[in-house]
Structure 1
Amino acid sequence: MPQLAPPCALQPMTEELLDSILTIENVAFTHPWSRGNFADALRSGYHAQVLLDGDTVLGYFVAMQILDEVHLLNLTVSPLHQGQGLARTLLGALCDWSRHTAHAQWLWLEVRESNQRARRLYEHYGFAQVGARKKYYPVHHGERETAILMSMSLWP
């Protein structure tokens, strides 16, 4: 498990944290997840973690396990706290859980083609592009953007 600088802590996402999470989500994205999306993920038992500094939500992720695969659905760091390695911390926690608790063989994700910062993070972590989904993400005024499909083997 990645080391966190005190007083940072990683804990399970709960409905009580959704107001703070939605504040971040709405600032970070032009097409954010809704409260219903997060609530559905929690009810479905998806693996969802929040990185906290005291009572302040710094970031979070939501992932879904399907057999021997884990699919990262959302990984977000508050724009106020980006550039501090928190996305790497969250991704490291997800990889550890996927390997050692979920016993998954593969980790999958989709990322906007234009999100070069996230793509570099994922590539640095060992993800490789395995495909693209044309016109997957909404952009604006009915336009859509390609999603880059990436995967990483969790076992050498």
Structure 2
Amino acid sequence: MAEPRRPPRGGGAGGEGLGRSRGGFTSKIHLSADGRCRPLSLVLTPGQRADFTQFKPVLEKIRVPRVGPGRPRKKPDSLAADRAYSNGPCREYLRRRGIRHTIPEKTDSRAARLRKGSRGGRLPGFDEDRYKKRNIVERTINRVKQSRVVATRYDKRGYVYLGTTTAAALVIWLRT
């Protein structure tokens, strides 16, 4: 009988998606969601990992099957994110893929842009009505964590916990 396939990251707490954060020794679930609070992609990281480092992996894992024949959709029509994703590489990635986005500008980057004057560039576009829908991701995380096993992380291995989280996401898809 073959052994279960393990992720290539190696052993240790980091390989299991565990790390120090304000809440203790925890994991972080990064996800994208559609307009009906259904998860589209999941990525698991140690608790101390910054959000913007997982921006590309989360967006690249999106696969929405089509009703008829054809390849699945890999690109959202638009995206709303919080200030953690307000940096040049994230905005450039979205521009390159042709994804409309609403991300508020950080106050320190705004001050730096204004300090540079005309060389500081243009103010990034911001649609307040679209940004109001950003709470969909927070509500999706709350729905995933309604499963007690996901909220408390009983699983020792990172890949098992990711499977548990994926099962909770599938339940959300089946209920809607």
Same fold by TM-score, threshold 0.5 exceeded?
no
TM-score, reference length from structure 2? 0.29
Looking at secondary structure, tell me which structure has more helix per residue. Answer: 2
TM-score, reference length from structure 1? 0.32
Looking at secondary structure, tell me which structure has more strand per residue. Answer: 1
Greater gyration radius: 2
